[in-house]
Amino acid sequence: MIDIIDVSKKFTTADGEVTALNNINLHIDDGDIFGIIGLSGAGKSTLLRCINRLEDVTDGSILINGIDITKLNKSSLRETRKKIGMIFQHFNLLMNSTVYENIAFPLKISSISDQDIKKRVTELLEVVELTDKKDAYPSQLSGGQKQRVGIARALANNPDIILSDEATSALDPTTTESILKLLKNINKEYGITIIVVTHEMSVIKDLCDKVAVIENNVVVEQGRVIDLFSNPKTKTSKRFLKDTVAKLPEGILVNDNNPNEAIVRVSFLGEDANKPFISQMVKKFDVDANIITGNIENIQHMQVGSLIIKITGSKENVASALDYLERRNLKIEVMKNDNI
Ligand SMILES: Nc1ncnc2c1ncn2[C@@H]1O[C@H](COP(=O)(O)OP(=O)(O)OP(=O)(O)O)[C@@H](O)[C@H]1O
Ligand SMILES: [Mg+2]
């Protein structure tokens, strides 16, 4: 369990003081895959670096299983850090060492016997599917393979927590997918808590259970990923979700003065997605409904999405159909020329 309590971080620079984190409060449960998303400069990396004390907080405390790591002395901190693995956007591998040596590195500094190191590295090479590359150097690997080495190295000391700072930002979409799958498996198999910093909503959607949105160094929204997707509250999350909301294609005009037609955006979550609300509406109110466009995503086995529908019929029937939709557990927006 990680509790981040009233954490602030200020840097002193030649140009004065820079606030990187402003009174951050987060609770992360054991076994969570917890996402932190925000725009560049929001403070994501700084927050992650405070969790393993690569940075010291200016104010507040960070409790890991009840122990305030901001107060640990050097030797206790060294022990705690062994239980926190970290992976990076640019992998941070030792370029003059082989894959095997890179993974063995954190074990060597933990003064573990050569025999035990060999056993552990062999296991880890299997976990990340790089057994055949054990003698290769990082320069001979693809980006995805390098990140697999980074992940194996982070796992070496059997951590309880993995911190991931933009681990897939330098990778193509297919490689990203395979790395996210690996992280998901690691979380499931070993119960490791994973904190994922990213600026990509797709990473949050595909990997995380919970999410915090950071805007201007403050947490502005946090909760279940599914709730964020179905009901984003802040400017930042709406901006990140922009591409997942169905938009009216260019060339389709909304005539919001014509009572015989209405164009509506229907957003839904979970089981609503499977209810035949359109066909029921058509039958009940003798209207026509054309689906103009739509976008449905699967998030943690739930469907979240939106459809844009054009409803046509008599003035009364169109009004009744809209009323019917509004009374269901669906979010309805009647599109006007100003909300396209
Ligand atoms: N060592 C430092 N010295 C001075 N200012 C810093 C330092 N590290 C970070 N900052 C400042 O703190 C703020 C937050 O930076 P941080 O790197 O945490 O952002 P981020 O959300 O990770 O951004 P990005 O998405 O670009 O990686 C920024 O204004 C940054 O300039
Ligand atoms: Mg960063």
What was the pLDDT predicted at 253?
Answer: 79
What was the pLDDT predicted at 274?
Answer: 63
Looking at ligand 1, which atom is closest to the CA of residue 12?
Answer: 4
So where are the chain's domains?
2-242, 261-334
What was the pLDDT predicted at 326?
Answer: 86
Distance CA 298, CA 270 (A): 9
pLDDT tens per residue across span 116-159: 999 999 999 999 999 999 999 999 999 999 999 999 999 999 99
Counting ligand 1 atoms within 8 A of each CB, the residue from 36, 37, 44, 57 with the most, and so the one to mutate, is: 44
pLDDT tens per residue across span 229-268: 877 888 888 888 777 777 888 877 788 788 899 999 988 7
Q: 104 falls in which pLDDT band (50, 70, 90)?
A: very high
CATH architecture of the domain formed by 261-334: 2-Layer Sandwich (3.30)
Looking at ligand 1, which atom is closest to the CA of residue 9?
Answer: 12
Counting residues of the chain whose pLDDT is more than 90, the rounded percentage is: 74
Counting ligand 1 atoms within 8 A of each CB, the residue from 8, 9, 11, 166 with the most, and so the one to mutate, is: 11
Q: 270 falls in which pLDDT band (50, 70, 90)?
A: low
What was the pLDDT predicted at 272?
Answer: 62
Q: Name the strand (E) or helix (H) holding 211.
A: strand 210-215
Instruction: Give the mean pLDDT of 279-286.
Output: 92
Q: Which two tokens stand for residue 211?
A: 């999410």
Residue nearest atom 17 of ligand 1, based on CA coordinates = 45
Give the alpha-carbon dihedral of 57, 192, 127, 35, to 10 degrees: -60
Give the burial class of 15: count Cβ atoms within 10 A of its Cβ; 0-12 exposed, 13-18 middle, 19 or more buried: exposed
What was the pLDDT predicted at 236?
Answer: 85
* Exposure b/e, 133-163, CB count within 10 A at least 16 = b: bbeebbeebebbbbbbbbbbbbbbbebbbbb
Please check whether residue 304 is in contact with residue 230, taking contact to mean a CB–CB distance below 8 angstroms.
yes
What was the pLDDT predicted at 89?
Answer: 95
With CA atoms as reference, report the closest residue to 310 among 331, 294, 330, 329: 294
What sections of 61-98 are H helices per DSSP? 74-82
Q: What is the pTM of this model?
A: 0.86
* Exposure b/e, 250-259, CB count within 10 A at least 16 = b: eeeebeeeee
Identify the residues whose C-beta falls under 6 Å from ligand 1. 11, 13, 18, 20, 38, 40-46, 199
Mean pLDDT of all residues belonging to the chain: 92
The dihedrals phi and psi of 66, each to the nearest 5 degrees, come to: 85, -10
Q: Please check the confidence at residue 340 and state whether its pLDDT lies above 70.
A: no
CATH superfamily for domain 2-242 = P-loop containing nucleotide triphosphate hydrolases (3.40.50.300)
